Structures are given as structure tokens and as C-alpha cells.
Structure 1
């Protein structure tokens, strides 16, 4: 017997049943995907699908060379002749915008797009945070006014409400202003933090000279007082940025969407400006952020396109589903409507024919395969969760009869002509 080969650390199989260390199943995953399809259609967003592998330069230019994602976490390799550096995408916005610029999608006006798929970061695996993880992303491109900022946040609230988790999430909000305002704040922040450099941990010392805004995002409890007293970006905002931020808050209040202003909310990627937001929870341990995003008005131009205001967000599917499965509600449709059983050697073909007829009439049908006692087949039928059992008995085939049993309610068991099978099941549904 050959040696077993295991999956790569931090990359999980999705099975029909729960695993010991990974509770999500293909059934609740599929139910979530179906919900997302309907949700994005409800808001008028169109799907875009991009390759998993992109040129490394795309992420260096968009995310920022000094970020942790680019500096430490990306899966990067050379192609077969070493002429091109390739990377497994660590997030979806850069890939989406690369496709928009390459195919000139904004030529005919603004675009509302969404995507869903796997992303890759070489992080320390933990609950809700994996090396291959999956995201749903929303991107609204070519929209400048703050109402689109609020539309995206309202989309999130709508989905949380549908999933039954709105009460377990907190909306955190901030404004990062424009490039000049951030530069002024950065100078003041570096000057302030330098006074405490001896007290900073190693990560914060590195970020102080590369991406000082990220120091404010530290989870180190020993640095909280220092960060709380640091210069606040909101104090550096000009009139336009202040008015944009005020309008976002006004519209959110008008829609009764509660939020908490967090002046230390900066997000982890370099391309953000103006509105940034996160939906957080205290139900998933250290992994508090379920969904986050904001404006990135300069990114399309940075990637070679014509300047276009843009905003988007992404949610981690694994983390979100852990919250939904524990506290919310998600209707799964993995159980069959009918479980077909057979008795006697001559019943197999007839059973398969009736199963085909039921599927053609819109029923989800599971059929027992093999040969065993009817008692054992009934156990399989009950375990499947099917509403009805259909028994094809060899003794009834000549008379063209079938037997139906209600496995979940109290309608009992009846034998009917095969021609009435579909009608009878529809009456019992």
C-alpha cells in the first residue's frame, strides 16, 4: 500500500460531512453560493471571473510593495522559462481591475461587478483564516458620489439580515481622505511614533518606516494607549473629504444602519482612500473582521486605465459561514425529495425508469444502488432526509403499480398506478 498524501497545510477539502477540524460542508457552502447569486442580482451587479494566477507586478503595484501581503504572504513563482514572475492571487480587487482596464469595460459607463473564488496567502492557519481561502467581492467602478459608498454598506446589511447575523456584527467606519491629506497625517504620525520607538514591537518598528498607518492597526495590547493617543487622520481632512464623510454618515443614519466611528481603521492595503469600513464580530475569537472595504479612487489609473472613482469590499466565506452556522440561518437543499427503493431482481430497471420520470418532473431523487433487504434500504432512505420513499416491488411490476411512503409526516403509505405517481407526490407535497 502506497503512502498517503495529505492536503497542503492551511488548504482544506470541502466534504458533504463535517470534519474534525473544518466544520463547513459542501451543502452549506452551496446554499451560501445560491444566496449570493440572488443577492447580487437583487442589487443589479454582474459577475466577473478572473484567473487565479496573475503577473506578480499587478499585486506589487496595486497592494503596495511594503505591505505584509506582498512582502511576506504571497505565493510567487517563475513560469517554465523564468521570464515571468507569477503569483496566486492574494485578493480579488487587483485582478478585477486589471480585467476592467485590459478590456476597457468602463468605455460605456460605470460598472457594478461581483466575483467569488479562492485567494491565497501564506499565513499561519487558524480558525476562519486559511492559506487557501475564499472571498466574495463587490466592486462599483466609475462612481464618485458618496451614495455609492452607502449602497455597498447597505448591501452588506441586507445580506447579514437575510443570513440572520446582523445582530452579531458591528459596522466600523472611517475616512482616509485623499493622498495629500494622508501624506500630512503620515508625517505627523511618524514624528509621534518615533518618540515611542523603543516601546514598539518588531512588527510596528518595521511598519514605522514602511507603512506607519498599519501601526495603528496593531493588536498588541501593550501598544493600545500609544495608538489611541496618536494623531488622527480625521483631523487632517480638507473640506471635500469632510463633506464626503459627513454625507456617508448622514445617509447611513437615514437608512437606520448603525455604525461606530473608528479613527484607527486603516485597512491593510495601500490603495484605499476616503471611506473605509469593516464589519466585525466578537464571536470568532481573534478573527474579528468578517467583511471590509472602501474607496480606491486612484487604483484604476495606477493600473494603466483612465482615472475613475471606485469602491469595493470583500468578505471571507469561511469566516462568514462559521458565524452563520453558529448563530444565523442558511437553508440548505441537499436532501432529496424522493428516495427510490427496489425489491426483487427484475425491479432495478423499472426503479431507474421511475426515478428518471420524477427528475424530469422537477423532483430531486436519490436511488438505492445494489442489493439488500428492504429494511436496510428504508434505513438509508430515512438517513438521507428524503420526504418520500418510493418502493418498486417485483410483485407489483406486472400490474404497473408503485408504493409511496411518507417518511416525514403522517400521510402513511399507499399503492397507486405508476401513471399517477407524479400526481400523487405533488398532492402530498
Structure 2
């Protein structure tokens, strides 16, 4: 789906479509723009032509188009059509099958998927006729992107804002991935730990490590794209945006992470915390960095696949000092005790779960990985050498060797982006689930 028609209608949010068009171009898509007369009142065709490098289409009966049938030409060219912003008027026309301009006619003439991103006043958004028309579009297999909430151009506050361009881009990429990626994990519930845990020493100091969570978040996207319901348990130092349609729980310590992992394994939904309760052991997020609420169903079924990418601290201080420790001595000792092993605990207490471990080592990588695979009774483990400066913690790339509990030969994944590594790992998990996994631990 590389050829995208961006259809812009007459709302103040049309200015965001210029930024959105540019993002699509920067990410390798071919973009052709349709503008209604109303859209031209807010932003000029010349702007979109300059941003996309293509002529902007505004007329239904265009004598310069091939055989004068511009709407048919466009309908055949596109792989995907996006209406953003979609006004209440355009939504009504599409629902009723009206074809009195280029946009509405192309929507009737095309066979490609259509995304609709409504944008309107919050009171209009709540009107029953708008709700009815949107449901009609869903019945026609249009996909409706939920609008954002916030301050509107008219001064009202509420739902109805066009999401930010970056959000729209992520939605488009997720939509395309969902329609082009083999659904190897369809219907599976996947729990992923990511990032570093944080073990408090006193109110201002802690023990942790360099893990950023990038690998875990890449896996969350890859599992989601493969059809899974995904829950992310992120360590306290992770500052990455939550992938669309993924549950997220932020935790601090290893004990916190184990508690949430067990809850997910048992299929227990954890409540969101209020701002005043942010110091609770865990916090649940179902929104992303652009401020858009995300429609995610509550966790209702137990974990099928547990993927432990988090770098969990092996030790914590026996006691957390309640006040900041003052620098009064030349030397200081910390009394450390071993943390619970999140990965081994889940594998032991939930033998029905397919468990995938990660081993980040600096020496004898394969030896230690095989040892963890056997001692923790895992189904699969992916190991990498974090002593290399070009992969591992903080890097956008990775390289892995994957071992399995039911075969001797490992699979080597050469250096590539963490997103590509994640996609290959999901393929390996899918194959194992489909052909090898029998819900019996060795």
C-alpha cells in the first residue's frame, strides 16, 4: 500500500493535513491529494502540490484527466484512501452514497480500503445523526479513526479534534501492517516486559542499568501487527511512546514487575491510577504521546505468550533509606539482597504459557543463553552481545541468536533494525506455536 490518496474537506483542521501529507512523503508513500471546495477555503492547493510533488485534484469533471474520467483514474491508482479531516457534511454524503464532487465519487468508485478521520465541533460530534452516519460507514467497511479530545478552534473543549499528524501516520502504518502481515498470533494474548527496573536506595538514588526498552516496544508493535492482543510492562526508565492499541503498565522495581506480570498471566485487568495516586506500585496507560485516547479493550483473558525483554535488576537494597543519604563518609556499603526472577517465576508458575527469554551478555553469550533456556525451563531464548557498540542497549539495531527447547540448531538473525529483528522473532514464535508447542514444559 504505497499509493495513498489524501482527501481533505472543509474544516479548520485542514491545516494539519499539510503536515500529515509531508510525513507520508517522508516515510516513502506516494501521495495524491483531493480537496473539496470547502478545503480550499482553509488551505490552498498550491501548498499541497508543493508538499507532495503531485498535482492536486479538485474537479469531478476534469478535462485534463485521462479520458476526462479523473475519478476513475484516481480510484484505480490508489492503494489506500484517507479522508482527513472528514467533516460532518462529508460523512453524511459518504453514508448516503451521494456523488456530487470528486471526493465522494472516488470513494464510491474505489475498491481500496478507506480511512475516515472525523473532525468537528464537540457538540456536532455527539449528534445522533453523526453517530448513525459513522456506523453506516463502518457497516460499509470504512475504518473510522477516533478523534482526539481537547481545546477546539471555537473555544469549546471536548472530543472532535483531528488527531495530530504523527498519530495519523502511526495509525496508517498500523493499518497497513495489519492488512499485509501474516496473522501468526491472531487472538493470542501477549505480555511483554521492557526496559530496566529501578531499585531505590533512598528517595533520590537507585540501582538500574542502561536498557531503554526499544527492543520490547518493537516486539509489542510486531506482535500487535501479527494479530495479538498486547500488554507492555515497562520499567521506570522507559520514555518511549506507547504503540497504538497496546496496553501499558509502568512499574519501578523487579517486585512490581513480577506482580503485574502475574496479574497479566492470570488475566486480571488492573485499574488506572489517578494523578494523586501516581506513587502507587504500577500505573496503567492507554494513551499515546500525542494525547489521543486509544480504544483498547480491558485485559480479560490470561497470557498465552510471555516475552521477557526487560533488564531486571538482579539485586536490590535490603532496606530503602527514607531520607537522602548524606555524604559524610569516605566509604559506604550497601546491603543487597537478590530480587525475584520474573522470567523464571512466570515459566514455573504458569507452565501453560509459551515463555520467551532474552539474554544480554558481554561474554560467552551462547553458553549463558543455553544455560538460561534449560535452567528456567523456557520455550525459546534470544541472546545478543551487548559488549558490541553497534547493537544492544540504546541502539536502534540488534543482532541475535535464537535457541529453542525442542531443537538443537539455533537461528541466527544478522544485524538489522530492532523493528526487523522483532518481526523475525514473531515469525519464529508463530511457527513454534503452530507446529511445535504442545503446552507441556520439558
TM-score calculated relative to the size of structure 2: 0.21
Q: Comparing both chains, which one has the higher relative contact order based on Cα–Cα distances under 8 Å and sequence gaps of 6 or more?
A: 1
Greater percentage in helix:
1
Q: Which structure: larger Rg?
A: 1
